[in-house]
Amino acid sequence: MTVLILTCEQDVTADMVVAELDGTGVPVVRLDPADLPGPVALSGEYVHGAFRGHLSVGGRLVSMNGLRSVWVRRPGVPASRVAEPTDWLTEESAQALYGMLRSTDARWMNHPDAARRARHKPWQLHLAQRSRLPVPATLITTFPQAARDFADRFPDLVVKPVSGAHPQEPPRAVPTSRVAPDADFAAVAYGPTLLQRRVAKRADIRLTCVGDRIHAARKAVDPDADPDEVDVRFATSDAPWRPADVPSCIAAGVVTYLREAQLAYGAFDFAEDAEGMWWFLECNQSGQFGFVQIESGQPIARTVADWLSAPTPPATPTNGGRAWLLEGH
């Protein structure tokens, strides 16, 4: 049973996991959907009530029914490396490849549908609440008056994008910023705005959860840091990421979150306040882990490799033989 990794050629994170998979005896196939059609070929037949599919990569033939797991790491756009790329050929190739892979019994890290859903910040906040993770008070609105009322109740606010990175080429991360006390919220009417109570934090937490295995790392905030520096991605801290113990209620919450989101992998960001409480900020289903592993020494690539190479888990009472369908959601 083969592990299939969908990613582009230059991907150090995938290299780290492939190195861990080497020597396990589990066959690994790595391909970039950008190479379909061409170096990557496929074929699937629906005859006599059954589906049989094959992938070919560099002359190596793999049965789709023999796939153990699929890691959707950083795949290229299907058919983007043909001589004359078109939207039509990309669509045909994407539907053929992912449509067939969806018909297999392979486990996904992460399933494309679950991954897509998991990007919705409003949905993340609600799922975190339901998973009993502490969520700072948050408002998403196009009503200026609602923003003003919220700022009266929670005077110390940050503003961040609803959707994440700005979709330019290459995508640009939009930093979380502090809201000035005398902010005028009239412009809220021109675009949905996400306001959140600022957590006066003493550390950033990056928690990586793979199945039900958790690695948490902590980066202390300099006590003299500028309180306007709210976004760890843009902060100037020299503190390293260090392994951290996970409070049991947080551990239970993130496992619930991933299970309900039908994700195999999630990178959670928390802010630790002065009392040690971890506040949920977001869960990135495709979050990087290389930088945390290197600084904290935690074996995250090993954990990912273990998940990918594990034998298919036995059917559980809740999904039974319908795992292929539930996983397809």
Task: Using the minimum distance from each CB to a second copy, give the nearer residue, 154 or 310.
Answer: 154
Rule CB under 8 A: is residue 285 a binding residue for a second copy?
no
**Beta carbon of residue 286, minimum distance to a second copy (angstroms, whole number):** 16
| Binding residues for a second copy restricted to 181-200, rule: CB under 8 A | 189-192
Q: Show the binding pattern over residues 63-102: x = contacts a second copy (CB under 8 A), - = does not.
A: ----------------x--x----xxx-xxxxxxxxxx-x
Task: Using the minimum distance from each CB to a second copy, give the nearer residue, 171 or 299.
Answer: 171
Task: Using the minimum distance from each CB to a second copy, give the nearer residue, 53 or 211.
Answer: 53
**Beta carbon of residue 147, minimum distance to a second copy (angstroms, whole number):** 9
Rule CB under 8 A: is residue 166 a binding residue for a second copy?
yes
Rule CB under 8 A: is residue 129 a binding residue for a second copy?
yes
Rule CB under 8 A: is residue 260 a binding residue for a second copy?
yes
Task: Using the minimum distance from each CB to a second copy, give the nearer residue, 160 or 215.
Answer: 160
206-241 in b/e form (b: 16+ CB < 10 A) is bbbbbbeebbbbbbbbeeebeeebbbbeebeeeeeb
Task: Using the minimum distance from each CB to a second copy, give the nearer residue, 102 or 219.
Answer: 102
| Binding residues for a second copy restricted to 286-315, rule: CB under 8 A | none
User: How crowded is residue 245: how many other Cβ atoms within 10 Å of its Cβ?
Assistant: 9
**Beta carbon of residue 146, minimum distance to a second copy (angstroms, whole number):** 5
Task: Using the minimum distance from each CB to a second copy, give the nearer residue, 106 or 305.
Answer: 106
Rule CB under 8 A: is residue 220 a binding residue for a second copy?
no
Rule CB under 8 A: is residue 107 a binding residue for a second copy?
no
What is the distance between the alpha carbons of residues 191 and 224, in angstroms, rounded to a whole number?
Answer: 35
Task: Using the minimum distance from each CB to a second copy, give the nearer residue, 48 or 233.
Answer: 48
Total binding residues toward a second copy, as defined by CB under 8 A: 71
Pairing of strands 201-210, 40-47: unpaired
Phi, psi of 185 (to 5 degrees): -95, 15
Rule CB under 8 A: is residue 148 a binding residue for a second copy?
no
Phi, psi of 258 (to 5 degrees): -65, -40
